Amino acid sequence: MPEVVMPRLSDSMEEGTILQWLKKVGDEIAVGDELVEIETDKANMAYESDVAGTLSEIVAQEGATVPIGQVIARVGDSGEGPAARSAGPDAAGDPPPPAVAEASSGAVPPAAPPAEEDAETAGAPTAGATAPAESPSSVPEAPAVGDGHRPKVSPVARRMAKEKGLDLKQLEGSGPGGRIVKADVERAASSAGGAAVGVTAATGPAAETAKGQVDYQDLTKTQQVIARRMAESKATAPHFYLEAEIDTSRAVEARARIKAAAGEGEVVPSFNDMVVKACAIALREHPRANGAYRDGRFELYSRVNVGIAVAAEDALIVPTLFDADRKGLRQIASESRTLAGKVRDGQITPPELSGATFTVSNLGMFGIDRFSAVINPPQAAILAVGAIVERPVVRDGEIATAQLMKVDLACDHRILYGAPAAEFLARVRALLEEPVSLAL
């Protein structure tokens, strides 16, 4: 009998959490059908079946965290549904598996969490464990929506709906395949008067201390990975920092001209798009800055893939602009907005979060003048970008004003040394101070 195992959906994935089964026991499955929604260390995505037949057993229930390679379901031959399996013992005289017997009787296995419960806020168990058992009477059956399956919901939309007290079964999805997305929940909340109910994922009872009442919250899988990777980065990569101030006056003028000439609906590149393009050109000319130190040797990459840090709900996600050195400013701008939208809607996929060779992190839109970022391992460097501020400067002995932007380059000293790093940053500054070169 074919087995479905926890797949590796990203290069750094070690385990996954079952968020939602998109098929139920007894359903016919074709190769390519969406079978289960899985939370990985980088994103949540629907896994497409690579086998065909009848879903005969669900081994890993929703909420369970399972290591890569462990069986999560079994698929029988086409037509082998739960009724056929429960009609009597098989050839060997063994009774049908308990999970199949329960499914055929219409009961939900005790380990399944409530249909509306968000796996992120429900306190998913650790690797190899299953969700806490509940009495069958306390677990509702899966809601019958359309084809009898639970509605397709993005993780962000699921969490928002729970916080606002909305019933997902009453919402209509506007996303791909009728998927309920963030905008659908916001629209429903607005029509309902916008009443929101705060929900805290507490892992233990609140305690009164000298600091007041203490609430404990579980980290999502993404937050766990961020915490682990950033701690590893600071502990293992010897950081050093280079600061520079860039005169972006000509870049500001160039963007104003681009905006004035743009037609209705056309994407206008932002200053961050210009920074990404400048970094991409400089990375092509400085291979070490585009490389990594790993296992005692340098890795130098032929592609220039720039990661852009995007603030998501309670997390920082870094989608990738592939081959940024070969793309024009408008294409970079369009792709950046698409990726940022996917991050905020919880629809970003692991391939879009993998393969970055360098990262740009910009907090200028929050009014931050300058900051130092932590390297995203195993990359060689990350550029932190501050706000563009008009300041007085001295030119030809006279006081004038200029649009100045401070940047901070954090480098891994194991691969990127002081002088080469300074040359790289000087090239980025030169490109931004003469932005016509960004279009070449």
Active site residues: 413
Q: Phi/psi of residue 249, each to 5°?
A: -55, -45
Helix, strand or coil for residue 66?
strand
CB 346 within 8 A of CB 155: yes
d(Cα 351, Cα 369) in Å, to the nearest integer? 33
Sheet of 358-362, strands arranged across:
239-247, 398-412, 381-395, 358-362, 306-308, 320-321
Residues counted in the chain: 440
The H-assigned helical ranges of 67-154 are 82-86, 98-104
Burial status of residue 414 (CB atoms within 10 A of its CB: 0-12, 13-18, 19 or more): middle
CB 428 within 8 A of CB 282: yes
CB contact set of 312 (below 8 Å; sequence gap of 6+) = 343, 344, 346
> Where do we find the tokens 């490389």?
291
Residue 89, C-beta contacts closer than 8 angstroms, at least 6 positions apart: 95, 96
- d(Cα 21, Cα 43) in Å, to the nearest integer? 17
Measure the N-to-C terminal CA separation of the chain; round to a whole number of Å: 58
Tell me how crowded residue 349 is: count the other CB atoms within 10 A of its CB: 17
Inter-CA distances, 33 with 47, 64, 68, 407, Å: 8, 22, 20, 47
Q: Please give the Cα distance from 68 to 406 (Å, whole number).
A: 43
* 175: phi then psi, degrees, rounded to nearest 5: -80, -175
CA distance 249 to 89: 80
- Alpha helices by DSSP H, 305-374: 329-345
Residue 38 structure tokens: 């899985």
Per-residue tokens: 355: 């393969």
Q: 196, 190 in Cβ contact below 8 A? A: no
